[in-house]
Structures are given as C-alpha cells and as structure tokens.
Structure 1
Amino acid sequence: MGSPLGDFVRAKRDSIEPASLGLPERGRRRSPGLRRSDLAARAGISVEYLTRIEQGRDRNPSIPVVNALADALSLDRAERDHLRYLSKITGGECSAHTRPVPPRREVRSSVLQTLRLLEPGIAMVANRLGDVLAHTGGFALVTSGTGLLDGDAPNLTRYVFTDSRARSFFADWGDVADEQAFDLWLAPSVENSEWFATELAPVAGPDFTRRLNRHVVPRRGTLRLNHPAGHEFRLLRETLELPSDAQQLVVFLPADDATAGALDQLRQRDRLQGRLRAIS
C-alpha cells in the first residue's frame, strides 16, 4: 500500500529527464524518468530506503531526508511546501479515524463588508474543498447561466468534475481541474479532504482520482472563461488567505482591455434588465 508522500516522490521522479540534471542516458528503459539509483545517490540515501518511502513502507522520514529529496528532485518552493505537508500527514500526525468535522461555512461580517466594498468587482470567499461561501454580484454576473451557483451550497470542485457545462465555461478546463484536485490536499483538515474525495470520486470518475493522486502543483495562470452570452474573459486572480477561518478571499481582475470592455457590456445589459444582485 502506498502513501501520499511516496506517490508524490515517485511521480516527480518519473517526470524528470536525466539529461535535465546533467545525468547521462543509460539506454532504453521500460519506465520514464529518473532511476531510483540516481535519485538515491543525489539525496544521499540508499536505494532500499528510497524504495520503502515510495512504496509507503517507511512513513516517517526525517526532516533532513525530506529536504534532501526536495533538493535531489529540484523542487520549486510550492512543491517543497507540498512535500513537507505530505510528509507530515503521511507520518500519522493526523488521525485517519477521527470523524470529519465539516469546515465552517460562516463568513465573518468584516469579510462580507470587504466583499461589498469590492462591488461591482468579481470576488468570492471559498474554502479549499471548493465551497463557494459568499460572492459579489460581479461574480454572480460572470458565472450566470453556467450552473456554478445553482443550488443552496455551490461547490466549485464538484461543479468542475461533474457538470458538463464546466468544460465549456473554463477554456482551460484541465488546468482548473488540476487546481481543484490539488487544493483538496490543502483542505481545512486531512479528514475533511478524505471525506470529500471519497464522496466525489464515484461520480467524478478517473479524471478526478488521477489528478488527486499525481500531486502536480498547479501554476494558477490567467483564468480564461467562455461566458454563455458569448463573451470571452481573461482574468487575473489575487488571493487573500484567511487562515483563522480556513477560507480564502479571491479577487478576479481583467487581464486585458478586451476583457474589461466585455465585462462593462455584461454589466450594462444586467442593469437594463433591472436585476438586483446582493452579497450571497
């Protein structure tokens, strides 16, 4: 039986071309990537120990070993943070038998006031499970007709993987799917993440489970949206962490003049139709 830590190390090893690290090619191989022996040598550990880590038979590598693996794999800062997090949860600091407590859905009044100040901009408050907990009217306008905010408890992760409209709405659906799957590792608690992933996997299928288990740290570039009204949006994202609430405030900004113009057209049409949108 594997482990999240072992899965990540193995996935990164498989993704590395030996030549990128200055290592010679050693003939054809049945599997891609860096050999265990090469990674073990770079990290200063034995091949047998690396095998135990990758297979989940050693779940408590020391901090120096974790740092050595990060160096040997040439991980960037986000990947190093993820490796340390996986080392923590794999080592058993979080009990898998603890009954999951749902993350809080309440949004503090001061955060809601901040959202009001951001109108008519595009902003939302969410948690790492993908629950959309509050949003501006601008966010509702940009997502109108997509199905994202349908229902009493909208969830972005569930929408991305189970609603066919998401694949049209998100121009780079695969990138967004990678982001939402990865964020489950950063959920309010390990128990929350496991509970949600177990619930979602049967209906989301292999697109979800494959992304969840390969541990690709997303780059989170420009978000491209295809609005049902025919507008194309390119949005930058600024994220404010609310650690005491295990929530995030995400603000979406036009990435170019064309997007700013399209947003103005959408707002003008909404005003003409006389619809009033309030903070949710």
Structure 2
Amino acid sequence: MAEFLRSRRARITPSDVGLPAGRRRRTPGLRREEVAQLAFISTEYYTRLEQARGPNPSREVLAGLARALRLSDAERDHLHHLAGVLPARPPGPPRDVRPSLLDLVRRLPLAAATVNSAIYEVLAWNDLAAALMEDFSAASRRDRNLARRAFLGPWPDGRRLYGVSDVEEFASSVAVGLRGAMARYPDSPEVAGLVDELLGGSDEFVRLWEAGAVDAPRTLCKTFRHPLVGPVTVNCDVLDVADRDQHVVIYTADPGSPSEEALRLLSVVGTQRMDVSS
C-alpha cells in the first residue's frame, strides 16, 4: 500500500488539484503534506502510511485518499484491498452511460443497439433500435424497464415484450439477473422495489423467482414481429460493461437476408410510422 500511495502521489501535479506549483518544488508530484491536506488527515499519519509504519486506514480515510489522489474506480478498489478493507458497495445500479458507449451505439451501421442497466432499464439506444423495438424516447423511465414490461406490461399493440420470439427465455433470464442484482445491491430501494412489484403482480415471476436459478442461457438469435416490415430475425450479442454493471445489446441480421433488408428499410423509415396496425 505504501508503494501504491507513493506512485499515485508522484503522478499528480499541483495544477491537477488547484494548487500553485511554486519555484522550489523538488518532488515530481504532490508533497505529502498536500495529499494529507486534500484527504483531511494529518501529515504525520499520511507519512507513516507511505513509510509502511501506520495502522490500516479506515474506510473514511481511504475515501479521502482516493479523492485526493484522483484514483479511478479500479484504483480505488485496489487501494481498499491493499488496506484489507472491502470496497463500499454502490447504493444501486449505475445509470450513467459512458460517452464513449453512447458514441459506439450511435455509430453502429445497420445494427440496433441498446444499453441496459443491471435491472433491465433501457438507458440508451440508437435510432434503429427505436424503429425495431419501440420509440423509447416517448416512454417514461418506468416504462423503459424491460423486466417490468416482460411481466406486467403494457405491451405495444397487445404484443408481449415487443413481439419477440424468446419471451419465455427472456423471462427466465430476468429472474436470474434480478436475483444477482439483489445480491450486488442489497441496500437499494430501487432493486428491492422492482422485485417486490413483480412478485406482487406476476404469478409467472413468482414461479421463476422461487425456482432459485442463478444461471440462464443467453438467446443468440431472436425474431421481432414488426407491424410494418413483418418478422425480423436478428443475432443477439450482449457485451458486458463491468465497471458500470451495464450491458450493450446489439441486434444484427445475417448479410443478404430478408431481415437485413427489413433493417435497411427501418433505418430509413425510423419511428414515424410505428402506428401501423399489425
């Protein structure tokens, strides 16, 4: 831990934290007293930590050091492990999507893509996903939760979960996914509230929840029964975003297939004719 603290202190410049550089600075990074000041601890205590002579710091001290040294999430967790302290659990599933992921989703050619939270809320999507599945921008945050939609509705045009072919498989994966979210976020009112809502409103969810499964096979291919272009069969790939506990779901059609042509048509039409009856 002492070595880790020294290395991270050396890479931070005074200007990074709003301190004057000064003319007689001999250290390449911050001084020990500057780190101590930023972390709201004594210089003597911080010096002892860097010399491997101090007692293990508390969770509060570690949080101050992580803030003072501008540590990333991974570095913060590493510091906690070095100190023998388990990192604090996040209060609930993260909802902020990295700008790079938003850019990736928007740039995918002829692919419908969404970014989903750990509790199946659609956080971001591209135009083709809106045309293929639903115009998520017209739905409230509550109605953009696919777990709720899978078991409680409402379903567009009476078609359960956007008329996809893997309704039962997706329902099973939701129960498994929410069980994992409950374990990762045991103090989250949002996670507990969603599970309680599904248990109180869906006999099917009760059955799946009580089965206690902790693993479910992912669907690699599914068919959307679209009201405008008919059935669209797509490959379904899920990319895990570990640091955000999110998933990028990408739908692509086989090259040269009728489904690829359907996606091309939807990319032009967009959501402007989603009122066409099936």
Q: Answer yes or no: is the 8 Å Cα contact 1:120–1:136 preserved in 2.
A: no
Consecutive unaligned residues of structure 1, counting only runs of 5 or more, are: 1-93, 276-280
Question: Counterparts of 2:216 and 2:203 in 1: how far apart (Å)?
Answer: 18
Aligned in 2, Cα 1:148/1:114: closer, same or farther, shift over 3 Å? closer
Question: Counterparts of 1:137 and 1:168 in 2: how far apart (Å)?
Answer: 16
Q: Counterpart of 2:223 in 1: which secondary structure?
A: strand
Partner of 2:176: 182
Q: Counterpart of 1:251 in 2: which secondary structure?
A: strand
Whether 2:255 is the aligned partner of 1:266: answer no
- Identical-residue share of aligned pairs (%): 23
Residue deviations 1:113-139 (CA, integer Å, cap 9, x gap): 211221552111112211111111111
Q: 2:205 aligns with which of 202, 205, 208?
A: 208
Partner of 2:226: 227
Partner of 1:103: 93
Q: Counterpart of 2:224 in 1: which secondary structure?
A: strand
TM-score by length of 2: 0.55
Question: Counterparts of 2:112 and 2:215 in 1: how far apart (Å)?
Answer: 25
Q: Answer yes or no: is the 8 Å Cα contact 2:150–2:160 preserved in 1.
A: yes
TM-score by length of 1: 0.54
Question: Counterparts of 2:180 and 2:138 in 1: how far apart (Å)?
Answer: 23
Q: 2:147 aligns with which of 157, 164, 168?
A: 157
Aligned in 2, Cα 1:212/1:105: closer, same or farther, shift over 3 Å? same
Residue 246 of structure 1: how far off its partner (Å): 1.1
Whether 2:136 is the aligned partner of 1:137: answer no
Q: How does 1:29-68 map to 2 (within 5 A)?
A: none
99-108 or 211-220, which moves further after superposition?
99-108
Question: Counterparts of 1:168 and 1:246 in 2: how far apart (Å)?
Answer: 24
Question: Counterparts of 1:236 and 1:242 in 2: how far apart (Å)?
Answer: 19
C-alpha RMSD of matched pairs (Å) = 3.2
Consecutive unaligned residues of structure 2, counting only runs of 5 or more, are: 1-85
Question: Counterparts of 2:197 and 2:103 in 1: how far apart (Å)?
Answer: 33
Partner of 1:45: none
Question: Counterparts of 2:248 and 2:121 in 1: how far apart (Å)?
Answer: 12
Whether 2:171 is the aligned partner of 1:173: answer no
Letter in 2 for 1:123: A
Q: Answer yes or no: is the 8 Å Cα contact 1:171–1:225 preserved in 2.
A: yes
Letter in 2 for 1:242: V
Partner of 2:194: 196
Q: Answer yes or no: is the 8 Å Cα contact 1:182–1:216 preserved in 2.
A: yes
Residue 227 of structure 1: how far off its partner (Å): 1.3
Residue 240 of structure 1: how far off its partner (Å): 1.6
Residue 167 of structure 1: how far off its partner (Å): 5.3
Q: Answer yes or no: is the 8 Å Cα contact 2:179–2:214 preserved in 1.
A: no
Q: Counterpart of 1:248 in 2: which secondary structure?
A: strand
Larger Rg: 2
Aligned in 2, Cα 1:111/1:157: closer, same or farther, shift over 3 Å? same
Q: 1:124 aligns with which of 108, 114, 124?
A: 114
Letter in 2 for 1:110: S
Residue 216 of structure 1: how far off its partner (Å): 6.7
Partner of 2:247: 248
Q: Answer yes or no: is the 8 Å Cα contact 2:224–2:233 preserved in 1.
A: yes
215-224 or 127-136, which moves further after superposition?
215-224
Question: Counterparts of 1:191 and 1:122 in 2: how far apart (Å)?
Answer: 34
> Which stretches of structure 1, 4 residues or longer, exceed 6 Å deviation after superposition?
none
Corresponding pairs, count: 176
Aligned in 2, Cα 1:110/1:175: closer, same or farther, shift over 3 Å? same
Q: Answer yes or no: is the 8 Å Cα contact 2:110–2:263 preserved in 1.
A: no
